[in-house]
Structure 1
Amino acid sequence: MIAVVVSRADYASEHIGEFLLSEAEWSSHEDETRPDAEGGGEYYRTDGFELREFDALHLDIENVAEAFSDPDVLVFASRHSGDTGALLTAHFTGNFGPAEYGGEDRTLAETCPNAHARLLRAFDEHAPEEYEVGMECTHHGPSEVGVPSMFVELGSDDEQWGDPEAARAVARAILDLRGVSPHRERQLVGFGGGHYVPRFERIVRETDWAVGHIASDWNLETLGLPEAHPDVIRQAFERSGAEYAVCEGDTTDLAAVIDDLGYRVVSETWVREVSGVSLALAEELESELSTVESGLRFGDRASDVSSNPDEWTFSLRTFPEEFLAAAAGVDRGAVFDVVAERTIAFETTEGGTLVCGRAAVREPADYDAIIDELVELLERKYAAVERREDEIVVREVSFDPEKARTFGVSEGPAFGKLSSGVAVTVDGRTIPPEEVQTERTHVFPVR
């Protein structure tokens, strides 16, 4: 069940609450065990939801989950204030440093990363055209809620707080959370960057990872030296259900503390690469080959293997360097695509764009298929390409400037025509391009 907190001290919250009640069929109930100001009195229920109203601002209400009937997730329907124009946004709560706006010093609330990711999709679906959708770093109270929670906000000024279409959009997005789990298998925390968090929003939108607490640069400034407050760093992981962190900017000291606590700092590239890949398989491949940070990339076969641990067996093959370089000289992008399609993982260089080194394949036939397809690629450039059992033989025919000079051809436009296969006439004699070509043979071992 999802608990919804509406604050009478927040006009936008009341506005969202009105649309929540109008967008679904609710039953009215009475709670005489609590004061009306603290969620008692009249409250409302519908399938999967319970809504209660409070006099205080949300950020000043601690342990608010106690007012509800065993919720799984709690949502604070709230305004967003700032110079950000029309915006629908969401974030988690707590304080990495001193508590200036509710909550306790250096205390973080429990997050609901999976529900948050679902909310962003719902925002995308329901937001009026002129509204942006975003997410923010962790900030302000409460620090103790009692269940996984988040603020769901309508911003950013009076015009938007009173906008019925925007309030309806927020209400519908909240109702779309019906039945959602607060957590998923893959969750991480974020450190660094600005108050609004495009890097972490990309991760949520474009990978199978969700993101819990995010400490922006200003959050880290209020925290102070990371080594002096490892308990707060630990809270960020524990209350996000996370074992991994993505850090933005210079966070060397922080990374050392994270490592000491037993968690792992990874890059956005790593998060993207392992999306859809078993983490246990990814760890084994990084151990057997190289790390994602040093150029390891996962091929299409990785997702297939991940879905069936019984098929995790693989063999390592080393690509023939000269042959691979020749194929990349024809079309390096095509080489990447061929290798990615047939492998579980493969090594790269030049920022992950150039295939090199070794690869993990499910079976020898996959490696042979890669060689066959790269042979076809070489046929675009070379006069003849022969596949033998252990080697590739390539015959190259190219323009020979020295031969051209022996026919009296001077450097200039005539050279260009002959090199492109066009005959030229010199001193009344026609010189066909075949007369000024040289044939070379290259042999590339592939075993």
Structure 2
Amino acid sequence: MIAIVVSRADSASERIGDHLLDLADWDAREDDSLPDGEGGGTVYSREGFELREFDDLHLEIEDTAAPFSDPDLLVFVSRHSGDTGALLTAHFTGNFGPAEFGGVTGGLAEACPNAHARLLDAFEDHAPDSYEVGMECTHHGPSEVGVPSLFAELGSGEEQWSDPEGARAVARAVLDLNGVEPHRDRQLVGFGGGHYVPRFERIERETDWAVGHIAADWVLDAMGAPEANRDVIRRAFERSRADRAVIEGDYPELKETVADLGYGVVSETWVRETTGVPLDLVADLESDLSPISSGLRFGEAAESCDPEATAYELADLPDDLLVEAQGIDADATREAVAARTLAFETEQSGTRAAGRAAVLDRSDREELVDELADFLREKYDSVAREDGRIVARQTTFDPEKARTLGVEEGPAFGKLSAGEPVTVGGREIDPQKVRSEQVREFSV
């Protein structure tokens, strides 16, 4: 069940609450066990949800889940204040540093990264045309909620707080969370960047990883030295149910502290490349080939295989043949490599396959060689596989032969190269007389 907190001290929260009640059928009952301003009084329930009202601002309500009937997830519907114009935004709560706006110093509430990702998608589905959608770092209380929680906010000023379309969009998005799990298998902690976090939003929107607590640059400054705040950093991972972090910016001491605590630091590239690939398989392939940071990339088969039942072998890629094929059609060559391998090494910032690969069967490598050889036929007159090599033949204009026949370099060269005869000293030069066969061999 999802608990919804409406604050009477927040006009935007009240309007969102009104739209929540209007959009669905709710059962109303009276709860006399609690004061009306502390979640008692009239309580609204429907399948999957319970809505209670509080007098205090959300960030001042600690142990927020206690009045509710055993919720799995809690959503604070709230205003957002800032100079960001019309914006629907979401974030988690707590403080990496001093508690200036609710909560306790160094206290972090339990995040719900999977629900957060779903909420952003729902915001996109329902946001009015004039509204942007975004996410923020962790920056205010409460620090203790009792269940995974997040803020769903309407911003960023009085114009939006009183906007019925904006409030209705937030209400619809919250209702779309019905049945969502708070967590998923792949969750990260974020460090660095600005208050609004486009890098982490990209990760959450475009990969299968979700992001928990985020400490922006200013939050890290407020926290202080990482080594002196090991408990806070550990808490960020624990409350996010994450064992990896993405760090934006230059934070060597933070990276050292994270590693010393037993957590991993990965790049956005690593997150993108591992999307859809079993992490046990990622670890094996990074160990057997090379790290993603050094150019390892995954083939199509990596997303569908069972790492416990997958046997693979390592093979050298036909590098010279690859270079030639990539010069003819780089995109098609990359697609061919990805289609025939489990993973492959690359160079030039991951753009060109080179080095070694993992294949499910030796025949996959042979089929890749044949496909690359087919690409060469766009450039060469004939291509054949002979004794462990690809032999490509091409008949082209030979400038030296032309010179020996008295042809001077210039327009005549161009005509002969294009297959047109030229006249020199009163005699016609047949273009076939100035052509030679070039043979290239590629070891495979």
TM-score, normalised by the number of residues in structure 2? 0.97
Distance in 2 (alpha carbons) for counterparts of 1:36 and 1:423? 99
- Corresponding residue number in structure 2 for 1:413: 411
Deviation at 1:279, TM superposition (A): 0.0
Is residue 113 of structure 1 aligned with residue 131 of structure 2? no
Name the residue aligned to 1:204: 204
Aligned to 1:88: 88
Report the more deviating stretch, 390-399 or 38-47: 390-399
Aligned residue for 2:441?
A: 443
Query: What does 1:95-110 correspond to in 2, within 5 Å?
Result: 95-110=95-110
Q: Structure 1, residues 88-114: CA drift from partner, whole Å, max 9, x if none?
A: 000001111111111111111110000
Map 1:252-401 onto structure 2 (within 5 A): 252-305=252-305, 308-388=306-386, 390-401=388-399
- Paired amino acid for 1:97: G
Shift of 1:31: 1.1
Deviation at 1:419, TM superposition (A): 3.2
State the SS of the aligned residue for 2:292: coil
Shift in Å, 1:221: 0.7
| 1:367–1:130 CA distance, 2 compared to 1 (3 A) | same
SS of match in other structure, 1:140? coil
Distance 1:161 1:137 in 2: 21
Q: Deviations over 1:110-161 (max 9, x none)?
A: 1000000010111111111111111111111111111100000000111111
**C-alpha displacement of 1:397:** 2.4
Alignment of 1:34-183 (within 5 A): 34-183=34-183
Counterpart in the other structure of 2:223: 223
* Unpaired segments ≥5 residues, structure 2: none
- The 3 A distance-change label for structure 1 pair 376 and 25 is same
SS in 2 for 1:17: helix
Cα pair distance change 1:315/1:389, threshold 3 Å:
farther
Task: Confirm or deny: 8 A CA contact 2:318 2:369 kept in the other structure.
Answer: no
Moved more, 413-422 or 133-142: 413-422
CA shift at 1:217, angstroms?
0.7
> Aligned letter for 2:286?
E
1:389 is displaced (CA, Å) by 5.0
Instruction: Please tell me whether the aligned partners of residues 19 and 167 of structure 2 are also in contact (alpha carbons under 8 angstroms).
Output: yes
Q: How many Å separate the matches in 1 of 2:397 and 2:60?
A: 80
Are 2:397 and 1:404 equivalent residues in the alignment?
no
Residues 246, 265 of structure 1: 8 Å contact kept: yes
| Whole-Å separation in 1 of the counterparts to 2:58 and 2:2 | 16
SS at match of 1:83: coil
Match of 1:107, SS? Answer: coil
Q: TM-score, normalised by structure 1?
A: 0.97
In structure 2, the partner of 1:14 is 14
| CA distances 1:218-272 after superposition (whole Å, capped 9, x unpaired) | 1111111111111111111100000111111112111111100111001111111
Identity %: 64
Counterpart Cα distance in 1 of 2:430 and 2:268: 56
Closer, same or farther: CA 430–237 of 1 in aligned 2, 3 Å: farther
Q: CA deviation at 1:310?
A: 5.0
For residue 294 of structure 1, report the CA deviation from its aligned partner.
0.2
Q: What amino acid maps onto 2:354 in structure 1?
A: C
Check the 8 A contact 2:60/2:102 in 1, yes or no.
Answer: yes
- Alpha-carbon distance between aligned partners in 2 of 1:417 and 1:241, rounded to the nearest angstrom: 70
- Contact 1:333-1:353 within 8 A present in 2 as well: no
C-alpha distance after superposition, 1:416-441 (max 9, x if no partner): 33334444333443334332222222
Residues 266, 354 of structure 1: alpha-carbon distance in 2 compared, 3 angstrom cutoff: same
User: Within 1, Cα distance between the matches of 2:161 and 2:307?
Assistant: 51
Cα distance in structure 2, aligned partners of 1:432 and 1:96: 81
For the residue of structure 2 that corresponds to 1:214, the secondary structure is strand
Q: Is the 8 A contact 2:190 2:215 kept in 1?
A: yes
Greater Cα offset, 2-11 or 28-37: 28-37
User: CA RMSD, aligned part only?
Assistant: 1.3
CA contact (8 A) 2:280 2:307 kept: no
Q: What is the rounded CA distance, in whole Å, between the counterparts of 2:420 and 2:10 in structure 1?
A: 79
Q: Distance in 2 between matches of 1:423 and 1:216?
A: 71
Measure how far apart 1:444 and its partner are.
Answer: 2.0
After superposition, give the CA deviation of every residue in 1:330-382 in whole Å (9 maximum; x if it has no partner).
22222111001111100000011011001111112211110111000011111
Report the 3-state secondary structure (helix = DSSP H, G, I; strand = E; otherwise coil) of the residue aligned with 1:239: helix
Of residues 320-329 and 109-118 in structure 1, the stretch that sits farther from structure 2 once superposed is: 320-329
In the other structure, the counterpart of 1:5 is 5
For structure 1, the 5+ residue unaligned runs are none
